[in-house]
A and B are shown apart, each in its own frame.
Chain A
């Protein structure tokens, strides 16, 4: 199975900041990586697919990059609505696996 390692596990930031979350795969997954945002008690929401493609309706302040084994999610000009947990997921090969999540807090 492909292991997905996210860092950091917790990230403290302020409104207006720019933050970067990293996700590393245990083997190459090409560009087959998605990022999701999850708020407490809610279902995950798709932000980014194919490593850098922004889902419709997601603010352009969010961006993704990377290929192979190393990927990043960057959110600029943080807004109060951005404080949540972010998960990466590889869909290069079955079983589809997720990182443990990064909690973005104030």
Chain B
């Protein structure tokens, strides 16, 4: 059974940094592209970033480009999101999601980790 366990969220001041992690199990992690998707309180879903199976190709939404970095460690079955220069509008629940198909859609999602940016 696929499990995605996100962690690392919390309260951070504007301008601060945070690193999210997503531990994967139940599938061959190194064979699948992965993504981060966020949801601000009471709002819709917003794609944040994606990474291919090897970690060589990454992409970002315009709202986080230059501030966030996605990475993965296939030896640890873990996905990361390094978030720098955080803003109040980055406040959201961050979900890691496994991608499937070509083109890709999201077939499994983690339980989410809450990031709150506030002074």
Chain A positions within 8 Å of B, measured between CB atoms, are 32, 34, 36, 42-46, 49-50, 55, 87, 89, 91-92, 94-101
Contacts and interface: CB of A to CB of B under 8 A. Distances in A.
Given A43-B110, A43-B112, A98 B105 contact: no
A89 B45 contact: yes
A43 B44 contact: no
Interface of B: 35, 43-47, 50, 59, 61-62, 95, 101, 103-112
Nearest to B107: A46
Contact of B61 (A46, A95, A99): A95
A95 B109 contact: no
Nearest to B110: A43
Contact of A43 (B46, B50, B103, B111): B111
A49 B104 CA distance: 10
Given A95-B62, A99-B44, A46 B103 contact: no
B45 A98 contact: yes
Find the residue from B45, B47, B101, B110 having the highest chain A CB count within 10 A: B45
B62 A98 contact: no
Given A49-B101, A91-B103, A98 B109 contact: no
